[in-house]
Structure 1
């Protein structure tokens, strides 16, 4: 999974380079961009964002107060 994420990041950075920076004359900036994009593509897959959602007590009371109707069916089978 890490290799797929890293390859996707590197592909997007290379696409940005091909579309916008390839024809520019800033050779030193392009050199640092290409070297930096390799390091960025190696680091970005390690970054994860975690969000915690707290459950409100109102929604818990709503579900606990509702009644559930369960009907029993005859599941006995008769053999002849």
Structure 2
């Protein structure tokens, strides 16, 4: 029986059947833990560890005049 026939009968992908058929031992079938995938935002993660507001920024913000209208308002 071919791998294609086995995969059809078991309703598994042909590559999965081939992987199991060619494995010399069960240890080969146990997958290794994958490394974490990189994300688009990984480059900016160091910035997320910064405090939300430094004391100096809070002083500047308190001294600034209030806005005449909300930002983004019409």
Q: TM-score, normalised by structure 2?
A: 0.28
Q: What TM-score does the superposition give when structure 1 sets the normalisation length?
A: 0.26
Query: Which one has a larger percent helix, Structure 1 or Structure 2?
Result: 1
Higher relative contact order (CA 8 A, sep 6+): 1
